[in-house]
Amino acid sequence: MTKAFTFELEGKDAQARAGRFSTPHGALETPVFAPVGTQACVKAITPAQLDEMGASLVLANTYHLYLRPGDQLVAEMGGLHEFMQWGQPILTDSGGFQVFSLAERREVDEDGVNFRSHLDGSSHRFTPESAIAIQENLGADIIMAFDECPEPYERAYNEEALRRTHAWAERCLGAQKRKDQALFGIVQGGIFPDLRAQSAEHIASLNFPGNAIGGLSVGESKEEMHEMLDVVNAILPEDKPRYLMGVGTPEDLIEGVRRGVDIFDCVLPTRLGRNNAVFLRDGGRLNMKNAVFAKDQGPIDEGCDCYTCSTFTRAYLRHLIIAKEMLSATLLSIHNLHTLIQLSKDMREAILEGRFSAFADSLEMKEQAAR
């Protein structure tokens, strides 16, 4: 770990934390939600729009960028920051989740994974060393160790995958050459408390500058996810940021922060936006295609000050959807991303003022009332 990566814990309220993680492209004020830019772009959103809504961290996908346009090309273009024209911190995953999601297209051994591209069926291989080399070419501020993400309920497979994940984490540390990138380890273990505890202890012992929690929100219940977060965060060090991978609804952010999580990312806000759906601050959702909005002159969410809610009516947004105008995806995605980014900032303020528990409870009561 270099001096470029420091985590300062600025406040706590029970287990909820407010911190500041310094990177070469600026400090992240946590809790923070990262929009996902899978292919070096957040779908339907420009970097200027991300900046306007207050985004401070964007995630890009190693697997997809390795296949297209290629990590070597990105390096030749000056790295991801220059390539996608985003001047603030970027995080890249290791490609592990995508590779292990391929199921019939991959074969795992102790050294790594053989897989076939979802684009053209061509054969490829990822190892811990190659995953680090690819991410070093991409040039993100935060990079991830190559791990194995198993189905959460298969005990035997989780035990085997955990052994590989831990061995691969050590190999990733040994392979890292660039010191201007923070390499995070990843905790796995399915829904098994003892495996999660074992994994948290091992990953913590390796002294990564930050630690991620993987293999959640992949089919388990919310109660099981919360139990695993309680187990893991009781073990992970206080002086390192904690990143819950692939989780992103208002409820998930609140419950994650309540349990000590600092960083979140998810494709859901923009995916919902492209499919006519929006978050409400109270945890509800609306399908903006519904006929009930045809003459509705109100904003998506009363009290929301995003560009979409400040400018357009529900009636206009429904018109765009019915007319199949691309602008609908942009405007709904702006609202969804703004909702999570602003929620993260509001939670940070509540933690620093010692009122997070009351803040979170009030939102949960609104959510229950909305149901």
- Residues with catalytic function: 93, 265
Q: Which strands make up the sheet holding 16-23, listed edge to edge?
A: 7-13, 16-23, 26-30
* Number of other CB atoms surrounding residue 71 within 10 Å: 22
3-state secondary structure of 164: helix
- Going by C-beta distance under 8 Å and a sequence separation of 6 or more, which residues neighbour residue 278? 272, 285, 286, 288, 300, 301, 332, 335, 336
* Number of other CB atoms surrounding residue 134 within 10 Å: 24
- Going by C-beta distance under 8 Å and a sequence separation of 6 or more, which residues neighbour residue 325? none
The DSSP secondary structure of 327-347, one letter per residue, reads HHHHHHHHHHHHHHHHHHHHH
- Residue indicated by tokens 């390192």: 240
- Residue indicated by tokens 């602003």: 342
Q: How far is CA 179 from the centre of its chain?
A: 23
Of 302, 296, 298, residue with least CA distance to 284: 302
DSSP assigned state of 210: E
3-state secondary structure of 35: strand
Of 139, 131, 104, 149, residue with least CA distance to 24: 139
d(CA 134, CA 62): 7
In 242-356, the DSSP E strands lie at 242-244, 263-266, 277-279, 285-287
d(CA 2, CA 222): 36
Of 368, 300, 288, residue with least CA distance to 339: 300
